[in-house]
Chain A
Amino acid sequence: MSRILEESDTKSTRRTFLLATGAIGTTTLAGCTGGDDDDDSLVTHTRVGDGDVEFDHWTSAFYSPDEDESLQAETASAMRARFEEWAEENPEYQANLVYQSDLDQWESQLVTRASSGEAPPSSTLDSIWVPDNREYLQPLNDYVDDVDDFFPFVRETAMEDGDLLAAWFYTGLRCLYYRTDLVEEYGDGEPPRTWDDVLEVGSAIAEGEDIDGFTLQMSALDTLPLFWGQGGELVDDDGAPVLGNEDNYDALLSTFEFFDDLVEQGVTPQRVGTLDDPAQLGEEAANGQSAMFIGSNSRYQISIEPNDDNPDRWDVAEIPMREADQFATGVGGWTEGVYAQEGDVAEAAKSFAAKAVEPETMGRYCEAGSQLPTRASVFEDDDLFSSDTFRFQDQFRTFLENGVARPSAAIYFEAIEGEWVTAKERVFTRQSSPTEAVGTMLDNIAAAYDGDVDYDI
């Protein structure tokens, strides 16, 4: 289940999350009102601690400490350990866990309630919700040590004016998976670093092996790094779309021209224009149908290792860019945030959130759930986070230095994400030239934006 959350950028995964959480909704609700309230344990499915200062904490059954109730049973013991430690350290507090089963409802409820001053004291938040909640989330600086230890993307996304607004307790990333044997045979053995490299080695492999040279799926997060790596920006500080502005337009167009080249030169099949299932991408690669693809950090464990007779032939590299000195990867993950502004409840909720990003807690959770820590130090201490958690752990740690989170400006979700995917589909399926697809995308985004958009091309 942790893998499901790790892939939470895709719509299908969001649906999977909804279905999974919805399916156990009744059970969960039963748990909320059921017998374990009478349980004398310090930590139950619905309660953490037994102090007098109580507060509600909205979360998902993915983060339940109860193995029987958790949607990712493998992390339940790590969650229990985190909660037990917090309860022992703070005997005066009690967190009541309120489980949310509908992701979209949860997201909209937080913003809606926060805007009217009725937000829950604290909540687990998808990292992409954080910017939307910035004005309501309370600083955690007094409770979280060594903020500089977090990777740059955490500081850029979850901090404002030096205030850490969310405790980002795990993440995931995108990278290039490639077959070392084929890259050795048809290239120089080095993974492709630039788009030209991809086209060169990819077409050679496609021609020589009669398989797909390079594949990718249609989620935005898998290809936005190609744009971000060139310094491209989707929105400005006010949330207005700027991806059509002069510098950004060049990065945008070149990205879509790369897509066009991939199909034109036979490196990538046209059918990827309809491919929206990351599992299918990975399993095709494991079955020898493709030589390189962009996938998440857990794709190796989910698709390659179980399905490839010789998984050792796979390696990972940073996503190829237009120029060799450009780097970017898309990141996601979940956080803990606090809305309570003052008083005992605020203090209790902040300490509760901060516990999630203590190095020991974070390492334990990431190890159990096969996730990536958001603190650099956790990677470096084998006692905190076993070096055996991921085969490519050291590379992932390096890649995270260039992590970029999606903006949570309303226009991103209202139009940019969808238009990006549509334009990409149109180029991959040869319905539009890159210029036409980008032009239509920019027009549609401008039309959807509630304000004036003047692309300064």
Chain B
Amino acid sequence: MTVMLTMTSDAAIDDPSSGSGIRRTVGTYVDSVVSRPLFWLLPALLFITVFQLYPVFEVFRMSLTDMSLITSEESYVWLENYRRLLGSERFYSTLRVTGLYSIASIILQIGLGLGLALAIDYGVRRGLRGPLFTRVVVLSAWIVPGIIIGLVWKIMLLETNVGVVNNALGRLGFGIVPFLSDAQIAVVSVITAGAWRGTAFSMIMFYAGLKRVPDELYRAAKIDGAGPLARFRYVTLPQLKSVVFVVTILVTIYSLNSFDLIFALTNGGPGRATEVIALSMYKSAFNSYEMGMAAATAVVLLMVTLVVTAVYFRLFDISEEI
């Protein structure tokens, strides 16, 4: 009986027209499909295509047109928007401000973020109380929307005795400081507000990186006679290299694309002294209604971001870490 069943079964397998044969063929086909990486990548690719690549393509296409929010007509002007953009003094002004803002943000956010993370890590390793509270307080700056932060800073920096900072300075005997109406000081104000907000993100990233550094390394370094600075230089920093890279990249991207905080704090003023590229793009689109020009600005900003990121990849040798 057993032999019979086995024979029947084998015959069925050999006959492709039988139900089991079809199932086997389908099964084989499914196996061959699901064993290919493309099958598993497809949902992600589809998502990226619809929500990332298509919008990028559409922005690029728009940048070649004279699309406006106040007319329904649209025609291709090809590189005219780029010619106007790259030929305008305003673009180079916003590029300078964006560059200055980004460089200062990177330095401040990485420096302050690392400093705070080290302090918290120090506290945690020694069982001190308060690191969690400190983390929550610092992180709250990251959670609050940029628009709100911009408004809060605007109120703090008001150039009358009502302004929190000027009021405090006045009590100390100083005069009113033009935090927002002096072109140079306004840039410093914007950078400070941005750093205040962004430091929280850097701190969290660095703190996570510090948690990964094994205690054994510090103990070994101590046994070898390394002092605190030497341990930081030869243990902490090398261990944080990949984190520094990621934070630098992300802070750069965030800084280059900064918009909300500056929009609320100065709206790019006075006289475009604090106008960054992203804000200029917004104004082109929604103040001047020039969607084509705004799209061209977006494309240029994308290119700048990609170039800067590529430079980082060249500068940071982290091929082993990623």
Contact = CB atoms under 8 A, between A and B. Distances in A.
A418 B72 contact: no
A273 B181 CA distance: 6
Contacts of B66: 450
A276 B270 contact: no
B84 A11 contact: no
A448 B90 CA distance: 12
A255 B104 CA distance: 38
A104 B183 CA distance: 31
A115 B88 contact: no
Interface in A407-449: 410, 413-415, 417-418, 422-423, 425-426, 428-429, 431-432, 437, 440, 443-444, 447-448
A33 interface: no
Interface stretch (B13-21, B132-140, B193-201, B285-293): B285-293
Given A271-B180, A440-B89, A447-B88, A410 B266 contact: no
Contact of B271 (A269, A414, A429, A450): A429
Nearest to B87: A447
A112 B71 contact: yes
Contact of B160 (A111, A218, A289): A289
A443 B289 CA distance: 19
Given A274-B266, A444-B90, A422 B271 contact: yes
Nearest to B183: A431
Contact of A271 (B181, B283, B289): B181
Given A414-B288, A418-B283, A444-B88, A423 B69 contact: no
A415 B69 contact: no
B271 A273 contact: yes
Interface residues of B, number: 34
A110 to B, nearest CB: 10
A270 interface: yes
Contact of B72 (A112, A423, A437): A112
A132 interface: yes
B189 to A, nearest CB: 11
Interface in A96-121: 104, 107-108, 111-112, 115-116
Given A108-B69, A111-B70, A111-B71, A11 B178 contact: no
Give the dominant DSSP class at A's interface: helix
Contact of A429 (B70, B89, B183, B283): B183
Interface in B197-255: none
Contacts, number: 97
Nearest to A440: B89
Given A410-B70, A426-B271, A270 B289 contact: no
A426 B288 contact: no
Contact of A418 (B71, B89, B288): B288
Nearest to A414: B288
A429 B286 CA distance: 25
A277 to B, nearest CB: 10
A67 interface: no
Interface in B74-126: 84, 87-90
Nearest to A418: B287
B267 interface: yes
A258 to B, nearest CB: 17
B161 to A, nearest CB: 9
Contacts of B73: 115
A104 B288 CA distance: 12
B290 A414 contact: yes
Given A104-B286, A273-B181, A444-B90, A431 B70 contact: no
B273 interface: yes
Interface centre among A116, A444, A447 (most CB of B within 10 A): A447
A197 interface: no
B72 A116 contact: yes
A126 interface: no
A273 B270 contact: yes
Contacts of B68: 410, 414
A284 interface: yes
Contacts of B159: 269, 271, 274
Given A431-B270, A450-B66, A270 B286 contact: no
A274 B88 contact: no
Interface centre among B160, B288, B289 (most CB of A within 10 A): B288
Given A271-B181, A284-B160, A447-B88, A425 B269 contact: yes
A428 B283 contact: no
Contacts of A428: 181, 270
Interface centre among B266, B286, B290 (most CB of A within 10 A): B290
Interface in A187-243: 218
Given A417-B287, A429-B273, 15 more contacts: A108-B69, A108-B70, A108-B289, A111-B70, A273-B271, A274-B159, A410-B70, A426-B272, A429-B182, A429-B271, A431-B183, A444-B88, A444-B90, A447-B88, A448-B288
The 7 A-B residue pairs with the shortest CB-CB distance, nearest first, are A426-B271, A429-B270, A271-B159, A425-B271, A112-B72, A414-B288, A425-B270
29 contacts: A104-B69, A107-B70, A116-B72, A269-B159, A271-B176, A271-B178, A272-B181, A273-B270, A274-B181, A274-B186, A274-B266, A274-B269, A274-B270, A410-B68, A410-B70, A410-B289, A413-B70, A414-B68, A414-B290, A425-B270, A428-B181, A428-B270, A429-B270, A431-B183, A431-B270, A443-B89, A444-B90, A447-B84, A448-B290
